Chain A
């Protein structure tokens, strides 16, 4: 294989590359947060009015530990009753699996093309 000579990259072009990467990174991580799509939020489905430790489902031992931590039934209400919702749709699960598989297939295929060039130049045919 002919020896590939990489072009020299100018400083402005290097700077643009860094900016592109940083913007993509911040976008991928912050956009779901800013759009309120981050998920994993817990919710209290059935609030208890005038809560007591018993009404919150706490035994005397558990209640004693909460009190030692400085909580009252009222201040511990949301902490104790908030629950995750693990329901999901099969369609969403299939879509996630497809995206992950597509990603690895894409990376492995392109990598293989690039790797063959590297080996060919390094070791010859």
Chain B
């Protein structure tokens, strides 16, 4: 067994590369929860409702729960691996130590694109919200949303530049408010407090399964949006005080929170909004919880859910900047990307060059691409990453069986979660193929080209043995 114990209370983690100036270890389990839930909770405030459009309300509920199973597998697998790999980069660093450099390079790109596209989607929603508030406040002409989109991304990038503790403490507060707003809307509209306004049976009448079972399959595409990003908790691995305890706790508490929030969101919105309106997130309901509050007749709820939507988008964009920059930084530090990106700010101790570099990329997509396409780009990158995870955990258990290194968490029923995850990923690939097959093929084509570029060109700048920074014994079979 390795002589370095990640579960130790006196040595909580390890400093990869032995750098003197590293990222600050200041975060606790609540910050990990806030990072995971903060990124994802916006999925209940916008985007998930495309699943209703793809197959109807029941299809969206089935997709919600099957995607919930998929992400529960992701959280279990991730918690085990990351409780031993306490290093920035999350799944990227896991892939580097378990499968190999090219897989790691691909996983790093999945992470960067999934989070950067999610950040762009959040900024689009925030811009829309500002325009609605302007209209409600009596502004007559259509409000130009672009300055608000730019402002949101720039402000959050600045916050990330200045320091991780302030960034994630900010996330903790606004995520908690956004989550409470969903609970308040539920108790206010479901009949628990006062008269309820739910009309599920009447609104579903004649539209129960508008596309039949193929619609249920198609809904899985956007079903992922309820939870996409929970795996981002691992990005904070190098900045938490006790990774072996905080990462599994924060991640698993996060997925439980999201399962509750997703189901409540489906129940609230489908009981108030007609399915065609709810299911069109571009021309119909951009922000379904906010639209539900508008129909509740309570101005208090309208303001609460307005702020809830705004806070959810800000928290998500904030977490996405945090995660995408850590993945980009980690690849730069390993020379998978130009080493210039691997720098840590001497004063704020943040990966500041990576943060700044990704700002214009997010802006291009937020300003130039429609919301459903941006969401699809994010989902596709996420899906490729989830397909990697079963391979990762199977190889991890094979190369380092349970007693060979000490784990902070061991997930049960292995390999059942891995097999389940792989099967659900296959179904979701088919769902994406049903509507967005061209993008899927274009994106895979992109990853094939960059993989060849990495293997035959870029990898020459990477030191070989130095990439393996974990204090683990030699893997079995090598």
Contact = CB atoms under 8 A, between A and B. Distances in A.
Interface in B398-456: 429-430, 433-451, 453, 455
B202 interface: yes
A55 interface: no
For chain B, which range describes its interface: under 10, 10 to 19, 20 to 34, or 35 or more residues? 35 or more
Contact of A69 (B214, B277, B391, B438): B277
A54 B358 CA distance: 50
A100 B436 CA distance: 15
A107 B274 contact: no
What does DSSP make chain A's interface, helix, strand, loop or mixed? helix
Given A4-B464, A121-B464, A65 B273 contact: yes
A118 B467 contact: yes
Given A24-B449, A84-B218, A111 B102 contact: yes
A25 B203 CA distance: 42
B439 A38 contact: yes
Nearest to B210: A83
A25 B446 contact: yes
B461 A66 contact: no
Contact of B448 (A59, A86, A103, A123): A103
B274 A62 contact: yes
B337 A18 contact: yes
B348 interface: no
22 contacts: A9-B335, A11-B340, A30-B368, A30-B369, A40-B376, A42-B280, A59-B202, A62-B205, A62-B274, A69-B273, A84-B54, A93-B433, A103-B448, A103-B451, A107-B103, A107-B106, A108-B100, A111-B99, A112-B100, A116-B478, A117-B464, A118-B464
A112 B101 CA distance: 8
Interface in A8-65: 9, 11, 14-15, 17-18, 20-22, 24-33, 37-40, 42, 57-59, 61-62, 65
Given A33-B373, A38-B436, A59-B205, A99 B441 contact: yes
Interface string B358-401: 00010011001100110011000000000100010000000000
A58 B274 CA distance: 9
Q: Which 8 A-B pairs have the closest CB atoms?
A: A111-B100, A121-B465, A115-B100, A28-B446, A14-B338, A61-B202, A122-B465, A40-B435
